[in-house]
């Protein structure tokens, strides 16, 4: 019993790290929590008396569990190949004025939604190799047995993934102050119905994704919109929502949470270039919004 109590304490010390690994792998906070809980069940049954590197051992357990989930997800996606599927990963939302250590661990190195969306396009093995090596610095010798490849093949998995995600971290190169200037310009243009001003703040090749789940919202159903002109037209309808928009840090970058009459309506995550908004990811799924932690971001009053 004493050994189990000691393991539980040591596991809790690693929980923020393990949750960060699982979130990177799965893009879902609920699934990440489930994976970490399953890891605890496995670790507690196995015992850790002979484990020299507890962090590495637990990371491997979580990685295997996430890989199983990703493979199941990929299989289901193949079965639904004819369905238009626009999915925005769970955003991690914090107030610009509040620091939450556990959420800080999740968004370490600015895990933007743009990055997570690109990761969704990778094979499960590519995603695991890239996340574990490039983000959490696990050696390929440790990753190879998890994906069932030799070391060189595992290295190639990460290399292919790296080429795919190049550019998805662009926001990290734009100072937060500049990001807020672009967000404020977007809000002001939308509020005033200034189409030309919207065009100036949006990258010509901007991609906007709206995830409404199974609901039909004022944004319509889940969909993707490409190009500044089309996105600007859609943003013009944002005028009536602008008064309910509140600043928020969304996965490490400037973003917005929108409330209507005190109710959660949307979370907007953005990816930035030096002078424009390059990607706009909008979660408007009422069911997912209801269970989302908003990190002290609240409606006015």
For residues 175 and 163, membership in a common domain is answered with no
For residues 142 and 250, membership in a common domain is answered with no
Please give the Cα distance from 244 to 240 (Å, whole number): 8
Domain annotation covers residue 227: yes
Domain, as residue range, for 40 = 1-79
User: pLDDT tens digits for the chain (301 residues)?
Assistant: 446 788 889 999 999 999 999 999 999 989 999 999 999 999 988 877 678 888 999 999 999 999 999 998 876 655 444 444 678 888 989 888 765 565 555 554 446 777 888 888 899 999 999 999 998 999 999 999 999 999 999 999 999 999 888 765 555 578 889 999 999 999 999 989 999 999 999 999 999 999 988 766 555 578 889 999 999 998 888 778 888 999 999 988 899 999 998 899 999 999 999 999 999 999 999 999 998 888 788 887 6
Residue 26, domain CATH: 1.10.1740.10
Domain annotation covers residue 96: no
Please give the Cα distance from 60 to 132 (Å, whole number): 9
Q: Say how many domains are in the chain.
A: 3
Domain annotation covers residue 34: yes
For residues 184 and 243, membership in a common domain is answered with yes
For residues 181 and 286, membership in a common domain is answered with yes
For residues 274 and 186, membership in a common domain is answered with yes
Residue 160, domain CATH: 1.10.10.10
């Amino acid at each position: 019993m004493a050994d189990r109590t000691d393991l539980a304490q040591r596991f809790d010390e690693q929980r923020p790290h393990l949750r960060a690994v699982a979130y990177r792998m799965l893009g879902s906070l609920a699934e990440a929590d489930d994976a970490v809980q399953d890891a605890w069940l496995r670790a507690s049954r196995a015992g850790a008396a002979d484990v020299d590197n507890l962090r590495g051992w637990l990371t491997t357990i979580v990685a295997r569990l996430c890989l199983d989930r990703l493979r199941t997800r990929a299989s289901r996606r193949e079965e639904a190949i004819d369905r238009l599927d626009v999915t925005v990963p769970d955003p991690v939302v914090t107030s610009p004025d509040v620091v939450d250590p556990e959420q800080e661990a999740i968004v370490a190195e600015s895990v933007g939604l743009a990055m997570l969306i690109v990761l969704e396009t990778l094979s499960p093995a590519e995603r695991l190799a890239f996340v574990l090596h490039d983000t959490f610095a696990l050696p390929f010798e440790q990753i190879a047995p998890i994906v069932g490849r030799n070391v060189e093949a595992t290295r190639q998995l990460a290399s292919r993934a790296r080429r795919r995600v190049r550019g998805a971290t662009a926001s990290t190169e734009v100072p937060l102050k500049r990001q807020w200037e672009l967000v404020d310009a977007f809000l002001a243009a939308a509020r005033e119905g200034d189409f030309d001003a919207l065009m100036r703040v949006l990258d010509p090749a901007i991609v906007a994704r709206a995830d409404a789940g199974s609901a039909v919202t004022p944004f319509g159903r889940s969909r993707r919109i490409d190009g500044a002109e089309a996105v600007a037209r859609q943003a013009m309808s944002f005028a009536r929502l602008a008064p309910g928009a509140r600043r928020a840090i969304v996965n490490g970058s400037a973003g917005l949470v929108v409330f209507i009459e005190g109710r959660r309506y949307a979370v907007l995550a953005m990816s930035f270039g030096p002078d424009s908004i390059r990607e706009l990811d909008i979660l408007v799924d009422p069911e997912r919004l209801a269970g989302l932690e908003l990190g002290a971001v609240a409606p006015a009053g």
